[in-house]
Structures are given as structure tokens and as C-alpha cells.
A and B are shown apart, each in its own frame.
Chain A
Amino acid sequence: MELPAANGTVTTGSRTTMATRPRRNSYPEGMRPVAVAGIGKTAFGAFPDRDLRSLAVEAGQKALENGHADASQVEAFYLGNFAGPSFVGQNHLAPYISAATGIHGVPATRFEAACASSGSAFFHAVSAVAAGLYDIVLVAGVEKMTSQPTPKVTEILAGAGDLCGEVRAGATFPALFAMIARRHMYQYGTTREQLASVAVKNHQNGAKNPLAHMRKVITMEQALAGKPIAEPLTVYDCSLISDGAAAVLIMPLDRARDFTGKPVRVLGIAQTSDNVALDEKDDITTLRAVKTSSEKAYKMAGVQAADIQFAEVHDCFTIAEILAIEDLGFVPKGQGGPYSLAGGTCLNGERPVNASGGLKSKGHPVGATGVGQICDVVEQIRGQAGDRQVKRNTLGLAQNLGGSGATSVITILGAA
């Protein structure tokens, strides 16, 4: 099925390719276009007085309110959460949260895909709405991490790696990405300054985000002199351990128009996977699942990498943002570092990346991150991002990564 070009043609972009080439959206046969009608986020940070459920409920209720919908209208609840049972001991999280949000008598299911848990929940929710199973669906993501000491958090997060190999040997997530960084530096000449430039830029953006965990500008000197976590990564190369939640209300595009004047359309979405263990990947400097999922999502949206105007990418570590912009096709392989240092991804750069502050500054409550990114892209497309607003805002992308690349979810969103 080819959807009308009128719905998919971006006319405000400065790139002539998009102004002249109609977008050939290729939703599978019979699938309905899906839109985001409402978004809701909590602040990300360390909240000793808040429990996991209250964070998720706050985000869900904000998304319902933002989409002018009532909990009684919700036909299914999808939850992304990585490790609630380990971090806080609570299981059976989806009905636990949906009931407290006022959603009763419908499917409520938790999705776990490491740091891509809520990206995966979103992918499956969009698929179900597109297929016609439901009309009105709430998707939330939540994580409550700060009630545990750092070595315990490190150990729980390492559960997203291979416990029979790399983790038993002493790999942590910073260590896995440090080994990726070392190899990227070896193969492409990427430098410490280039890595640090990602952190400096994301803190600049995050300082403008009222919901960010660490609203603090940092200098290149500070970033380079940070406490070592896993060489060559310092504390400034690592995202934050945070509490937080995010939610989105989705529905078929035609119904979304009844709920909001500013529906944002899901133009393309894909989830793919790869080996969990880093030592099982042929080339660790490429996130293969990011390549395969972005190729699928671009095809579905009828766009190319060069058409994407801005993106929220999964900067769990500075090297991860460099890999992301390469594997999404924004820059050639090996050019992510120089492009970042030159300012290509800055708020006023050629293609703003992580205008929200990214996981680095905004915070990374892992199960909330994927849906949080969708909220941030939607805010940009609606023109509601305040001081963080990007100029070219009609076609954005969110990239949510699980583990050291075993799950990737790519979502392409556009003005409806």
C-alpha cells in the first residue's frame, strides 16, 4: 500500500531532495498510519522519595492529559522496564502501573530489552495499532535506579551482557564501550578530544532542559580530566544513573486528529537484533543492529539518512553517539569523531543530535530512555522545545540501543 504523498512530503526542509521528492511511505499492506497524540515525562534525576510506580503513573497521566484522553479509553498498556525486579524488587510491573494509572481490564505487558526496553515496547505498540488490534494505546517506560549503590547498579546493568563470558571476566557496560572506543580509535584515529566533544555538547543542551538530571555546562578541560571509569572513558564519557519515567499516547492518525491539533506521525519504525556478547561481533566498531534497523525504518518512511533533520541518539557513552551517527548513515564510517568535534551535531549545527541533552546530561533511567527520546522528538516537531528548539524540525529520528548493540529500535517521526 502506498500512502498519499501529500501526507509525507516535507516542504520546509532546506534540502532540495526532500522538497522535490515525494516521500514514498511503505507501511506494509493494510497497515494503518500511526501517530503520537500525547506525551508525558517526569524529571530525570535522583529521587529518593519517589517509588517506581509513582514515577510511571505521573508520566502516563501527563501523556493522557497531553493527548486529551481519559484512562478509560486506553485499550492496551505497554511498559518498557529493564530491571525493576533487581533495582527495587517489584515484579508484575505492567498491571501494577496500569491499574494505578486508572487503566483496567485491558492487556498490560512489560517489555525488557535492556536499555532499549521502552523503545521495544513502543515498536510493538505501534505495530499493534498499525495492524488494527487497538486504537488507543499508552506506552510507558520507567526505571528506578538510584536506590542502589553504584557497584550494585553496575552489576545489575551488566546483566544485559553475556554472564557466561564477558561479564564473568569482569566486563561492565562502561568497559564494553571502552573496548569499542579503543578499537574505534585504533581503526579510525578517533581521539579523546572528539569523544569529549560529545559530552561537552550534550551538557550544553541539557543545561537548557528543565527536566534534565544534570543541568550543568562542562568544559573540554573538565571532560578530559574526569575520573577514569574504564580507559579511555572517564566519568564525563558516561551517562547518568537516574530515576525517571516517560509515556506516549498513540493511535491511528485519523483518530489522533480528533484528540490533538498537533499529531506527530510515526513514518517509519524498526527493531532488529544482534549477538549479545561483544566478542561474538565481527567488527565491534559498527553497531550492526543500528544499521539494519535504520535501513528498514528509512525504507518504511520513504526517506534517506541525509533527509533526517535532527535526532535523539543513544549516547549511553560518548563513543556510542559517534557510532550512532556513523551507523545511521549521517556521516561516513570513521568520521563521527571529527564531525562531532567540528560542531556538526550542535544545536545550531548542520544536524542537531541530542538537543535534549541526551542520556549524558538529561539522564538515563534505562527503561524510560526509549520513550523519553520519542517525547523529545515529538516536542521538537511540535515546536515546543523552548531554548532547545532545532530550526529544521519536520523530520526527526530516535535511536534506542540495548546492551552493547544486541537490540536497536529506530523510529522516524514527522509532522502529520
Chain B
Amino acid sequence: MTDLGAGTIYTETVVFSPPEAYVNDVPYQLAIVELAGGRRITGRIEGERGQIGDRVQFAEFRNNVPFFRKQS
């Protein structure tokens, strides 16, 4: 799958009340990440929590869901 590269958190939330499919994941951080070129994608932030404006790096796709990590 494509490497989405680096991006910036446009907005985010931490989900505590999950849909049935993700009851074992909570709490998890969900974000809309703005990629280079301006395209936005909804994915998960794993590891350290991020805030709006934070730079994040694409890690991998899991079940077609993009996971990002905060850039150190």
C-alpha cells in the first residue's frame, strides 16, 4: 500500500464510546490528517496523543485504516 508520508493533524478526538466493531480498542485517538498537497484522510493516531497542528508520520495501513504516529 501507498506510503502516505507526513502530515498535520487538522482535527482529532479520543473515542470512549465505540461502535460494536471496535469495543476492544477504546479509548483510541481518531484524527483527520492533512497530507502534503492538502488532501485529508481520517485515520488513527497511535502512541503519544496529538493535537491540532501537530506533525504526524504515516506508520501503516491496518485493514485499510491509516495509522499515524506523532513526529518526535
Contact surface of A with B, Cβ cutoff 8 Å: 150-152, 154-155, 158, 165-172, 174-175, 178-180, 182-183, 186, 227-233, 277-280, 284
Task: Report how many A-B pairs have Cβ atoms within 8 Å.
Answer: 93
B42, closest chain A residue (CB): A166
B contact face: mostly helix, strand, loop, or mixed: strand
Q: Which residues of B contact A232 (CB under 8 A)?
A: 13
Q: Which residues of B contact A166 (CB under 8 A)?
A: 42
Contact between B16 and A179 (Cβ–Cβ < 8 Å)?
no
Partner of A230 from the list B14, B42, B65 (CB cut-off 8 Å) is B14
B28, closest chain A residue (CB): A170
Q: In whole angstroms, how far apart are the Cα atoms of A345 and B20 in the complex?
A: 36
Q: Which residues of A contact B19 (CB under 8 A)?
A: 151, 154-155, 158, 167, 170, 172
Contact between B42 and A165 (Cβ–Cβ < 8 Å)?
yes
Interface residues of B in 40-65 (CB under 8 A from A): 40-44, 52-53, 63-65
Q: In whole angstroms, how far apart are the Cα atoms of A232 and B22 in the complex?
A: 20
Interface residues of B in 3-60 (CB under 8 A from A): 10-23, 25, 28, 30-32, 40-44, 52-53
Q: How large is the interface on B (under 10, 10 to 19, 20 to 34, 35 or more residues)?
A: 20 to 34
Q: Smallest distance from the beta carbon of B51 to chain A beta carbons, Å?
A: 9
Q: In whole angstroms, how far apart are the Cα atoms of A279 and B7 in the complex?
A: 14
Partner of B17 from the list A168, A169, A230, A284 (CB cut-off 8 Å) is A230
Q: Which residues of A contact B42 (CB under 8 A)?
A: 165-166, 169, 171, 277-279
Contact between B17 and A229 (Cβ–Cβ < 8 Å)?
yes
Given contacts A165-B42, A178-B15, 4 further A-B contacts (CB under 8 A): A175-B30, A183-B10, A229-B17, A284-B11
Given contacts A165-B41, A279-B40, contact A170 B30 (CB under 8 A): yes
Given contacts A170-B28, A175-B30, A183-B52, contact A150 B17 (CB under 8 A): yes
